[in-house]
Amino acid sequence: METLRDLDIVRAAPASVRATPTDGMPTMEVRFSTFDVWYEIDSWWEGRFLERTRKGAFTKTINERLAQIRCLYDHGYDPQIGNKVLGAIESLAEEPESPVGVVPLFDTSYNRDLVPGLEAGVYGSSFRFRVIKEEWNDEPGRSDDNPDGIPERTITEVRLFEFGPVTWPANPDSTAGLRSLTDSYYERLRSRDPKRVDDLVARAQQLRTPDRPAAPALVVAGAAPHHTDEPAERHSGGLSPRERRLALYPFLATPGSRL
């Protein structure tokens, strides 16, 4: 199975962030990416497959680029907080079950607004990264973990960009485990950087239909960026691939627009 190699992907998990009260601002602990647990990805950008992350996948990125990793709320898209950093990362390391980031919160008004929910443990965690090394099994057969026999990906190395708390971490109908928020991330990125998203759309289209000539970036004159503050609650919901694409990018219904 082929994917865009430079696609930033987003994963989220429920109830995995907590802040410890202190006399001053609390320290936040963020757990993400439980190791060796299969979860299903059903995404327009990524496709449909099972995925798991191996212990050790974060070791190199932590050792080599910790200073470039940021802790943000909702990937920097909250309308009040924006991309303000929540705090300097005190430590980030792989524990036996998952990576864990420890972040003393800055004494700021936006963090004070978050503190009650963080101390109550009602936020989930999310992180944005790029896959560097992976192993695919395109024909795994059916199993208890994979009843439909869809392709399986094991991630063995990532480049981590940012992590932090989110309000809507995953499909509320899902069982425990990570879920893809990549579609939601790129939907919101379109409002900031439409050319980048259009270029990726064109490349994704070419990857899925390799016999077609390479398409230019998809730009529809007069099309307004599609944006919603509602959570991306599900990636399939019984919709066909075309219906999912139109739900994410309604401008594709314009005559002459194809994806």
Residue 241 in domain: no
pTM here is 0.78
- Give burial (CB, 10 Å; 0-12/13-18/19+) of 206: middle
Residue 187 in domain: no
Residue 86 in domain: yes
Residue 65 in domain: yes
What confidence tens digit (pLDDT) does each residue in 109-163 have? Answer: 999 999 999 999 889 999 999 999 999 999 999 999 999 999 999 999 999 999 9
Domain extent at residue 136: 9-182
CA 233 from centre of chain: 13
Asked whether the predicted pLDDT for residue 239 surpasses 90, the reply is no
The total of structural domains in the chain comes to 1
Residue 23 in domain: yes
Helices (H), 135-252: 182-192, 194-208, 241-248
Kindly indicate the confidence band of residue 249, based on its pLDDT and cuts at 50, 70 and 90: very low
Residue 35 in domain: yes
Residue 152 in domain: yes
What confidence tens digit (pLDDT) does each residue in 150-198 have? Answer: 999 999 999 999 999 998 765 544 444 688 899 999 999 999 999 999 9
Residue 174 in domain: yes
Strand order of the sheet with strand 91-94?
A: 17-20, 27-31, 99-104, 91-94
